Amino acid sequence: MSDKNIVFLHAFPFNSAMWQEQIRLLPSGWNTFAPNLPGFGNTPVTQLSLDDWASWLLDQMDQRGIKRTFLVGLSMGGYLAFRLLAVAPKRFLGVLLADTRAAADTPEGKLRRTATAAKIREEGIDWMPEAQIPGLLAAQTIANKPSVVDFVRTMILDANPAGVEQALLAMRDRPDSSDVASKLTMPVSVVCGLEDVLSPPREMAELAATIPGASFHEIPGAGHLSCLEEPNHFAEILADLLNCNVP
């Protein structure tokens, strides 16, 4: 297989369907792999940490003959991208990190994830769309793009509660990856929805500043799910990254 590969890592609590529009918008000639991460879609709940997930994904890449690839991760997918970059940086030709962070959870953040996991265990996930959508999408998306809102709601409700719970605990316990970010040498694009309240632009700009040579891009009209809210703008940024000259 050639090096014209892209691996897409989805956000929480979604599945690989969130990347379907980005895959459609890609220039021709690219091989894509958008897995359902452990506990989501058709992937069993078996891995308990993001480092376990990274090992699992590298095995999946090996099975598909993907030796070197570009990597795209949004939110939880970005957390996993950092763990992959920690253990196998030479396998990645370039990276797009969207609406995410390198830092570990704060003590308060850990408590929130623990409480959410407990609520899911007790009540399931039917309550999650109404609780999460206002923080995931920009106000203008909620007001003017009902198809995006419906798509997000459907993906949340389709999630496996056990997988959602395990993912919360994996994110809660992930290590700080700030040192990984500061040592990256491949082309990196850092992308943030201008209305993102979960990974605000200021924090994302600070992350970009710690990565040697990284470019920073804000997407107006988008919140935390920038690839869904403004897919064409997101696709343009990705296309620019793919055109980088890689040694």
- Residue 33: its pLDDT value, please? 97
**Token pair belonging to 247:** 């040694």
CA distance 1 to 31: 9
pLDDT in tens, 191-232: 999 999 999 999 999 999 999 999 999 999 999 999 999 999
pLDDT in tens, 31-83: 999 999 999 998 988 768 999 999 999 999 999 999 999 999 999 999 999 99
Domains of the chain and any CATH numbers = 5-242 (3.40.50.1820)
- Residue 72: its pLDDT value, please? 98
- Residue 246: its pLDDT value, please? 46
- Residue 1: its pLDDT value, please? 52
**Token pair belonging to 131:** 């609780």
Query: Are 234 and 220 contacting, i.e. CB atoms less than 8 angstroms apart?
Result: no
pLDDT at residue 11 is higher than 80: yes
- Residue 244: its pLDDT value, please? 63
- Residue 247: its pLDDT value, please? 45
**Token pair belonging to 159:** 């999630």
CA distance 192 to 97: 9
Find the Cα–Cα–Cα–Cα dihedral 228, 232, 238, 239, rounded to 10°: 150
Question: Parallel, antiparallel, or unpaired: how do β-strands 5-9 and 31-33 relate?
Answer: parallel
Q: DSSP of the chain, one letter per residue?
A: --S-EEEEEPPTT--GGGGHHHHHHSPTT-EEE-PPPTTSTTS-S---SHHHHHHHHHHHHHHTT--SEEEEEETHHHHHHHHHHHH-GGGEEEEEEES--SSPPPHHHHHHHHHHHHHHHHH-STTHHHHHHHHHS-HHHHHH-HHHHHHHHHHHHHS-HHHHHHHHHHHHTPPP-HHHHHT--S-EEEEEETT-SSS-HHHHHHHHHHSTT-EEEEETT--S-HHHHSHHHHHHHHHHHHTS---
CB contact burial 107-124 (16+ within 10 A = b; e otherwise): eeeeeebeebbebbeeee
CA distance 191 to 11: 14
Q: State how far the alpha carbon of 180 is from the alpha carbons of 80, 84, 176, 183, 212, in Å.
A: 12, 10, 9, 5, 11
